[in-house]
Amino acid sequence: MSRDLDHAPDHAPDRMSGQAPDQAPDQAPDRAPDVPQGLALLRTRTELHTWTTAPGQADPAARTAVVMTMGALHEGHAGLVRTARARAGAAGRVVVTVFVNPLQFGAGEDLDRYPRTLAADLVVAADAGADAVFAPSAAEMYPGGQPQVRITAGPMGERLEGASRPGHFDGMLTVVAKLLQLTRPDLALFGQKDAQQLALIRRMAHDLDFPVEIVGVDTVREPDGLALSSRNRYLSTAERHTALALSAALFAARDRLAAQQALYARAASGKHPQARAEALSKMGEARAAADAAAVALAGPGGADAVRAAARTVLDDATRATPPLTVDYLALVDPADFTEVPDGHRGDAVLAVAARVGTTRLIDNIPLSFGATP
């Protein structure tokens, strides 16, 4: 689901509030939110089915797109909905699901504290072009209690975020599978920010033959580079400054790779770069000679150098006030999220998770290591 995999503050209570899992502790259960004009709010499977099959609802040949969320919608979610609208077309249907899935929360995590802002979510969804919001209760999604049969993420779901949060991806895939069955979309859109989640959903859809196109949408960032997240609201001004190290590390790695590949391209296209460097050195042109030597020695861009560039930024942030505590920095193959070797060629994802104060944040960036000419 489109839910930030980063944690809320550690001081989130361990006990249940006594309220339904999809309901804020301070929200009356029978208080219906105002629904924007033109948007349908669907709370049950029956309502969803009736709306989907209503005569004249849409051209039967039109496409249906779904954006799955856990609520607390922000501009990143709005971008997903806008992309869904564009992909589905004016005659198609765009459904946003809002469901705080208890299966994705482990012991001591933030189920009670997870923000529930359905009224505001309806406005965001409507403004972005959604036709309907499906916001079921936990009892509606799991009428017999927690499901006895679940989707298992396998080894890919045990790495990185899966290692930090055992069982999380099993719960995520289970609810995504249920929502795909209920909404029956032609395409489902998920954010690249949760790259491991996106990769697992793609793998599930492929391996289990779900008849749906899984679409990844680029991460939306705030002007200072911080990836949009419902968790950003927990950061103090000083903590937010430290948190910028996550995106800064990713950008430093991207720039290092680009510089390496540019030097390599010059070396590959030039004639006798080493001889030119030696000649310039004899002429006393030290700076030009150093540049020519760098070109001569340039490789196509190594994974270890990219990791090192990111690690330097993160290490500096560990000495900041307040400090950054790094959970992991990993350069992985997007197909299975295993670490790539130094000589890797092809696509990769550089992923980072870290804690600032009591808030855990994640971020990533896709990279492409060029093949040797």
Sorted by sequence, the CB contacts under 8 Å of residue 361 that are 6+ apart come out as 6, 227, 229, 231, 232, 243, 246, 353, 354, 355
Nearest to 69 by CA among 120, 15, 112: 120
Spot the catalytic one: 77, 168, 241, 272: 77
Integer Cα distance of 14 and 10 in angstroms = 10
Kind plus residue range of the DSSP H or E element containing 103: none
Interatomic CA distance for residues 243 and 262, integer angstroms: 30
CA-CA distance, 226 to 188, in Å (whole number)? 25
Chain centroid to CA 99: how far? Answer: 17
Backbone angles phi, psi at 40, to 5 degrees: -100, 130
Question: Is 7 annotated as catalytic?
Answer: no
Sign of the alpha-carbon torsion through 78, 83, 88, 91: positive
CA distance 52 to 46: 10
H helices of the chain, where?
45-53, 75-88, 118-128, 138-141, 161-164, 168-183, 195-207, 237-269, 273-282, 286-297, 303-317
The Cα–Cα gap between 192 and 363 comes to: 9
Count the neighbouring beta carbons within 10 Å of the beta carbon of residue 368: 12
The residues annotated with a catalytic role in the active site are 77
